[in-house]
Amino acid sequence: MTRMIAHISDLHFCSVQPDVVEGLAADLSALQPDLLVVSGDLTQRARSHQFRTAATFLSRLTMPQLIVPGNHDLPLFDLVRRFLQPLQRYQRYIDENLQPFYRDQGMAVVGINTARAVSWRRNGFWKDGRISSEQLWNAELQFQGLPPDVFKVVVTHHPFIPPPGERLKGIVGGAPRALDRLEAAGVDLVLAGHLHMGFGEDVRVYHEAVKRSIWSLQAGTATSTRRRGEPNAYNVIRIGPTEFIISVRTWRGRAFQEGVRKTHERKQVDPT
Ligand SMILES: [Fe+2]
Ligand SMILES: [Fe+2]
């Protein structure tokens, strides 16, 4: 059975282009994926009215949804709220559950919140985010015992790898340890955003210790006006029994249209 995920990211309400927002709603409604993944930065500044607008947009879409917050979903200037109740508004308006999980016959998807009020990494800034051991433990529990033919996906806001050709910096804190454990848990695909750039790569290009292929897929910003030289876009992943196909749907001025399509062989986990 083929399953379909639509992966949107970095919506940044209310710094959006209204016609792109309407085009995205129409495109997703026509596509009707089995699951809509939103990999963070739903708002521009974590204000209540921005979360309400994001929630209204998501409520128009009728498919199942799995959402994680991004660094922009934490208050930036309200330091009291940032440190004492960083995700209160996100949880109030978007999703109370910070460990979302979706499962059907063909796939299992775990969301991990990587947004942090403070990053303790020596060389990092708080916008880079982090994964904790407890979050990995929860992901391992969710994937535990699932048949090897169930396609396993992890969703974060912050990326595990940098853009092609760039040095290994600006990625989520704890990435090497996380990939070790996600590999052991049989994860096939990691989905993220944050950079406002769309690209895909095998994590082994940057993390040589990982033995099995985990594909890392970044989404550009679906609706934000803050683009990095790329049009608004989002990803579609079609999962079959032996392969998965990734395509990018790009805003072409009046509508989203399908661009590059790339087929990847599924790597079955060796049960030994
Ligand atoms: Fe963003
Ligand atoms: Fe971000």
Higher-pLDDT residue of 165 and 127 is 165
Burial of 96 (0-12, 13-18, 19+ CB in 10 A): exposed
Q: Measured in angstroms, how far is the CA atom of residue 78 from the centroid of ligand 1?
A: 19
| 192-237: pLDDT as tens digits | 999 999 999 999 998 888 778 899 999 999 999 988 889 999 999 9
CA atoms within 13 A on the CB side of 266: 23
- What 3 state SS string does 158-197 have? CCCCCCCCCCCCCCCECHHHHHHHHHHCCCCEEEECCCCC
Give the domain ranges of the chain.
3-230+238-265
Ranges 25-39, 80-94, 142-156, 250-264: which has the least confidence: 80-94
Q: How far is the CA of 267 from the centre of ligand 2 (A)?
A: 30
Report how far ligand 2's centroid is from the alpha carbon of 271 (Å): 37
| Residues lying with their CB under 5 A of ligand 2, a single-atom ion | 41, 70-71, 194
Cα separation of 82 and 237, whole Å? 34
Give the model confidence (pLDDT) of 52-107 as tens digits: 999 999 999 999 999 999 999 998 777 767 667 889 999 999 999 999 999 999 99
Q: Of 4, 11, 5, 6, which is closest to residue 193 (Cα–Cα)?
A: 11
At the fourth CATH level, which superfamily is domain 3-230+238-265? Metallo-dependent phosphatases (3.60.21.10)
Q: Strand 35-39 to strand 65-68: parallel, antiparallel, or no bridges (unpaired)?
A: parallel
How remote is the CA of residue 194 from the centroid of ligand 2, in Å?
A: 4
Judge whether residue 268 has pLDDT over 80.
no
Q: Are 12 and 221 in contact (CB under 8 A)?
A: yes
Question: 35 and 109 in contact (C-beta within 8 Å)?
Answer: yes
How far, in Å, from the CA of 46 to the mean position of ligand 2? 12
How close is the Cα of 242 to the center of ligand 2, in Å?
A: 33
Give ion ligand 1 contacts, CB < 5 A: 10, 41
Convert the pLDDT of each residue in 228-245 to its tens digit: 889 999 999 999 999 999
Residue 39 CA to ligand 2 centre (angstroms): 9
Taking a C-beta distance cutoff of 8 angstroms, is the pair 38, 66 a contact? yes
CA of 160 to the centre of ligand 2 (A): 13
DSSP per-residue codes, 95-132: -S-SS-EEE-SSEEEEE-----S----SS--GGG-B--
- Using the predicted structure, report yes or no on whether residue 257 has a pLDDT greater than 50: yes
The predicted pLDDT at position 218 comes to 97
Q: Pick from 147, 64, 157: which is nearest to 107 by CA?
A: 147
Residue 112 CA to residue 106 CA, distance in Å, equals 20
- Band (3; pLDDT cuts 50, 70, 90): very high
Asked which of 110-119, 140-149, 180-189 is least confident by mean pLDDT, the reply is 110-119
Q: Would you say residue 271 has pLDDT above 70?
A: no
Q: Please report the pLDDT score of residue 42 as a whole number.
A: 98
Instruction: Name the residue type at position 117.
Output: A
Can you give the pLDDT at residue 207? 85
Mean pLDDT of the chain: 92
Predicted pLDDT of residue 128? 74
Q: Is 73 helix (H, G, I), strand (E, B) or coil?
A: helix
Residue 72 structure tokens:
């922009």
CA 126 to centroid of ligand 1, rounded, Å:
14
**Ligand 1 centroid to residue 225 C-alpha, Å:** 10
Residue 158: nearest ligand to its CA?
2
The answer to whether the predicted template modeling score (pTM) of the entire model surpasses 0.85 is: yes
How far, in Å, is the centroid of ligand 2 from the Cα of 69? Answer: 9
